[in-house]
Amino acid sequence: MKVLITGGGGFIGSHLAEGHLKRGDQVWSVDTGMNLKVRHLLDHPKFHYVKASVLDEAAMEAFVIRADLVYHHAAVVGVEHYVDDPFNVLNVNILGTLNLLRLAHRHGKRLVFASTSEVYGRNPKVPWKEEDDRVLGATTTDRWCYSTSKAAGEHYAWAFQRMGLEVSVVRYFNIIGPRLDKIDVGRVITIFMGQILRNEPLTIIGDGKQTRCFTYIDDAVRGTMAAGLKKQALGGVFNIGDDRETTILELAETMNKICGRDSKKNLVFVKQEQIYGSRYEDIPRRVPDITKMKKILGVTPKTSLVSALTQTVNWFRKESESRPSLTSAALEKKKR
């Protein structure tokens, strides 16, 4: 099988490439960024890394034509982007998705669209089932632009399905593991890791009682590949995650414990406005119903939070030792 992964140089895309290479598939990873997360695959005879933008329809068509299966993961992701550059979030996520869906439909290719738990917004009824309502804040709150862009992508996916496209949608819930995005940016795990590597207290926004469900990357990849390979997954939308709920405070304490740090001395509580300003809203609870993932995709999360965090922390520590400039650069940026 020939597989195309847009956003293939990213965290999930790099692991997804590994999963398909293990099956013996040919993999084309397309991304606009550096190849650091796939550098260990560059010498693999069946792996191909290409720098190109999903906004370039002509360039993408050359790759879609040769693929049997397309995973569309390319997107602008991260809270810092939602609040700093909502135009780019909307432009890349919506127009890039439309390009890929149009091309997959034109050439008769199966496509898996990577969506997000963000589409549920702040719906207070948890756990969230795939058919549950979206509950969002005002359009003047930039925080919701990412959720809106991904929901628009899903609407386009179902519109193309009605025209004959074979498509599935996966909604990710806080995926963690080795090669997670760079420290100090976007995700709570990477923000905490930057602070740990600099031996700083972990910054807890609010009271830390907001909850998330953290999913190890191996479990997420198994779910994603099942969505792309199983016939019964066609036309379906699937929560990809772990339904074990963890507060942000518990997360911080667990990471401190793994790193041999005393949480009494290494936690600091700050107001949300100090970090993100007034144009951001947090979500108090984010919990998936993973019944469809288990029954239709045949995937059940296997990795405990402690194991997932330990492997993630160990990877970041190893990276910081081999590339100390990463930590020093983040510290210098923090000072400025």
In terms of DSSP H, where are the helices of 76-216?
79-84, 86-90, 96-106, 145-162, 188-197
The pair of structure tokens assigned to 209 is 């009682």
CA distance 83 to 142: 5
Q: For residue 40, count other CB atoms closer than 10 A to its CB.
A: 13
Tell me whether residue 156 is one of the annotated catalytic residues: no
Catalytic residue among 71, 146, 276, 280: 146
Residue 113, CB half-sphere, CA atoms under 13 Å: how many?
33
81 backbone dihedrals φ, ψ, rounded to 5°: -80, -35
Q: DSSP assignment of 308-331, as one string?
A: HHHHHHHHHHHHHHH-THHHHHHH
Query: What is the separation, in whole angstroms, between the first and last Cα of the chain?
Result: 49
Give CA–CA dist 313/315, Å, rounded.
5
Q: Is 242 exposed, middle or buried (0-12, 13-18, 19+ CB in 10 A)?
A: buried
Distance, in Å, from the CA atom of 317 to the CA atom of 123, rounded to the nearest integer, reads 36
How distant, in Å, are the alpha carbons of 124, 157, 161, 184 from that of 133? Answer: 10, 18, 21, 32
Q: Please give the positions annotated as active site.
A: 146
